[in-house]
Amino acid sequence: KAGVTQTPRYLIKTRGQQVTLSCSPISGHRSVSWYQQTPGQGLQFLFEYFSETQRNKGNFPGRFSGRQFSNSRSEMNVSTLELGDSALYLCASREQGTNEKLFFGSGTQLSVL
Amino acid sequence: GESVGLHLPTLSVQEGDNSIINCAYSNSASDYFIWYKQESGKGPQFIIDIRSNMDKRQGQRVTVLLNKTVKHLSLQIAATQPGDSAVYFCAENFQGSSNTGKLIFGQGTTLQVKP
C-alpha cells in the first residue's frame, strides 16, 4: 500500500495570505489527523476527521480549519497567515478501531515571510 | 497538565551498544503509548506501541517498557546502528480522547550513533 501522501512538500507564503494543504491517507484508512511541528512547541495536535466530520480539535485559533472528502482525502486551510505559522504540517491516518497507531506523511514545510 | 516529557534532549552512543531512551508522562489516565522515530526531512515513523494493561513489549531490536507506578516509559534499542540516528518521540493517548487520533507528544530525544 502507498503511504500517506502530502502535497505540496514546500510552500512559501507572505503574511496575510491563506494556504491550503492536501493529504491522501493510506488506502482503507478513514481517519485523518493533522499536526503542527515546530522546534519550540514540538508536535501539536490540530484536528482529526473521520467520515467527513471533525471529531476532535486542538487548541489552535479559528484561522486553522480543515475538511475531509468522501474518499477520505483531507485538506487543511490556514487563513491570514502569521509569521508564527511557519512550521512542518503533518498529516496522519489510521484505521478505525481501537488501534491508535498513526501513520504519518512526510509533511508540508510552510514558511511565512 | 497534559504533557509527555523526555529526560534527555540528546543521547550519544557507540555503534553496537544498547540505547535506552526515557520518557515521563503526567496523566495516569493514559491508556496507550507509542514511540516514533523521525529522520531529517521525514515524518514520524512508527516504532512500537504498548497499552496500559502491559508492562513490556518487544519488537525487532526494540523493547518498550511501561512503569505505570512512576508514569515512566522507555525505549530500548539493541545493538544500535548508524541508521538508528534520529529524533525519537514518545506519545500518549488519554482515555478521555480515546479513539480520536489525538496523541500528546513529548519534545523528543536526539539519538546520535558514533561509528
**Three-state SS letters, chain B:** CCCEEECCCEEEEECCCCEEEEEEECCCCEEEEEEEEECCCCCCEEEEEEECCCCEEECCCEEEEEECCCCEEEEEECCCCHHHCEEEEEEEEEHHHCCCCCCEECCCEEEEEEC
pLDDT digits (tens, 9 = 90+) for A2-13: 899 999 999 999
Chain B residues with CB-CB distance to A44 below 8 A: 105
pLDDT digits (tens, 9 = 90+) for B26-58: 788 888 899 999 999 899 999 999 999 999 999
Q: Which chain A residue lies closest to B46 (C-alpha atoms)? A: A103
Q: Please report which confidence band the pLDDT of residue A55 belongs to, taking 50, 70 and 90 as the band edges.
A: confident
Which residues, at least 6 apart from B17, have a Cβ–Cβ distance to it below 8 Å? B79, B80
**Cα(A93)–Cα(A73) distance, rounded to whole angstroms?**
10
Burial of B65 (0-12, 13-18, 19+ CB in 10 A): middle
Q: Do B108 and A42 touch (CB under 8 A)?
A: yes
Q: Do A98 and B102 touch (CB under 8 A)?
A: no
Q: Please report which confidence band the pLDDT of residue A98 belongs to, taking 50, 70 and 90 as the band edges.
A: low
Element (H, E) at A88: strand A87-94
**Cα(B76)–Cα(B13) distance, rounded to whole angstroms?**
12
Chain A residues with CB-CB distance to B87 below 8 A: none
Chain A residues with CB-CB distance to B105 below 8 A: 35, 42-44
**Cα(B110)–Cα(B88) distance, rounded to whole angstroms?**
6
Cα-Cα end-to-end distance for chain B: 40
> A90 at the B interface (CB within 8 A)?
yes
Chain B residues with CB-CB distance to A105 below 8 A: 43
Q: Rounded to a whole number, what is the largest CA-CA distance in chain B?
A: 44
Which residues, at least 6 apart from A97, have a Cβ–Cβ distance to it below 8 Å? none
Best residue in A102, A103, A106, A108 for a mutation probing chain B (most B CBs within 10 Å):
A102
The answer for A 25-84 residues in CB contact with B (under 8 A) is 31-33, 35, 42-45, 48, 50, 55-56, 58
Closest CA to B60 of B25, B31, B84, B40: B84
**What does the pLDDT read at residue B1?**
28
**What does the pLDDT read at residue B2?**
36
**Cα(A101)–Cα(B48) distance, rounded to whole angstroms?**
9
